[in-house]
Amino acid sequence: MIIGVAGPYSADTEAQRQHNLDNMNKTAAQLLAMGHVPLIGVNAALPVIRFANVDDKYEAIMKISLAVIDKCDALLMIAASPGAIRERDWVLAKGLPVYFSIKDIPAE
pLDDT per position as a tens digit, 61-76: 999 999 999 999 999 9
- Domain 7-104: give its CATH code: 3.40.50
17-60 confidence digits (pLDDT tens) = 999 999 999 999 999 999 999 999 999 999 999 999 999 999 99
- At residue 108, the pLDDT reads 79
pLDDT at 79 over 90: yes
Burial class (CB in 10 A: 0-12, 13-18, 19+), 91: buried
Question: What SS3 state is found at 44?
Answer: helix
CB atoms within 10 A of CB 7: 20
Asked whether the CA dihedral 98, 68, 70, 37 is positive or negative, the reply is negative
pTM of the full structure: 0.93
Would you state the pLDDT for residue 75? Answer: 98
